[in-house]
Chains A and B, each alone.
Chain A
Amino acid sequence: AQKVTQAQTEISVVEKEDVTLDCVYETRDTTYYLFWYKQPPSGELVFLIRRNSFDEQNEISGRYSWNFQKSTSSFNFTITASQVVDSAVYFCALSEERSSNTGKLIFGQGTTLQVKP
């Protein structure tokens, strides 16, 4: 069965600290897709990244970086030099191959990140 686990329920850091949000997934498929979404206080979820299971290269986008390791079934998200505006709930999600074109996602429970000034 497919499952996404975000063990960290809440994380609190002080501005400018680096923070890593953990994501562990389970799937029987060899082809699958992993995602991160951000849910700011306004409520709507915002897409951050999509990775497929054949691409284990780390991704960097500004202060955001993602570390995908198939050996540990993890897809962790790091924010460097965190800012107050990064405060949000972050969701990791999984889509299996047969759902890849549709966007049918299985979400983790989310990690609430609070960045204090």
Chain B
Amino acid sequence: DAGVIQSPRHEVTEMGQEVTLRCKPISGHDYLFWYRQTMMRGLELLIYFNNNVPIDDSGMPEDRFSAKMPNASFSTLKIQPSEPRDSAVYFCASSKGGGELFFGEGSRLTVL
């Protein structure tokens, strides 16, 4: 089975531009998570979905961030407008519940 697939793997953009990160979870998984990893703050949960419905978005930094899950096989995380402090590795993970998360390889975002 394919694992969690994220795209793009690397993104370099300029401040003010819109960034869209994409994720395809493992088929059959009911939960989808977006995490952000930085040196300063470590791994932070941004938002998670259960059966395509956003359950907890308390980790989303501010209104510039938004996430959607239009169907069970696709999710996006959008940053508009992007800022240099958004530079990080963004991970998507999926699970059947219980804490065993399956992570994608991450999308490394650099905002200049």
Interface residues of A (CB under 8 A from B): 33, 35, 37, 42-47, 50, 91, 93, 95, 100-105, 107-110
Closest Cβ neighbor of B107 among chain A residues? A43
Q: Collect the chain A residues with CB atoms within 8 Å of residue B3's CB.
A: 44
What separation, in Å, do the CA atoms of A50 and B99 have in the docked complex?
A: 8
Other-chain contact of B99, A45, A103, A108 (Cβ < 8 Å): A103
What separation, in Å, do the CA atoms of A95 and B45 have in the docked complex?
A: 12
Other-chain contact of A103, B33, B43, B89, B91 (Cβ < 8 Å): B33
Chain A interface SS verdict (over half): loop
If the complex has contacts A102-B55, A103-B98, are A45 and B42 also in contact, measured as CB distance less than 8 A? no
Q: B98 to A100, Cβ gap below 8 A?
A: yes
Q: Collect the chain A residues with CB atoms within 8 Å of residue B4's CB.
A: 44
If the complex has contacts A91-B43, A108-B42, A110-B42, are A102 and B106 also in contact, measured as CB distance less than 8 A? no
Q: Collect the chain A residues with CB atoms within 8 Å of residue B25's CB.
A: none
Q: Collect the chain A residues with CB atoms within 8 Å of residue B100's CB.
A: 47, 50, 103
Q: A44 to B97, Cβ gap below 8 A?
A: no
21 cross-chain CB contacts under 8 A: A43-B105, A43-B106, A44-B4, A44-B106, A45-B91, A45-B103, A47-B100, A47-B101, A93-B99, A101-B98, A102-B31, A103-B31, A103-B33, A103-B48, A103-B93, A103-B95, A103-B97, A103-B99, A104-B33, A104-B56, A107-B43
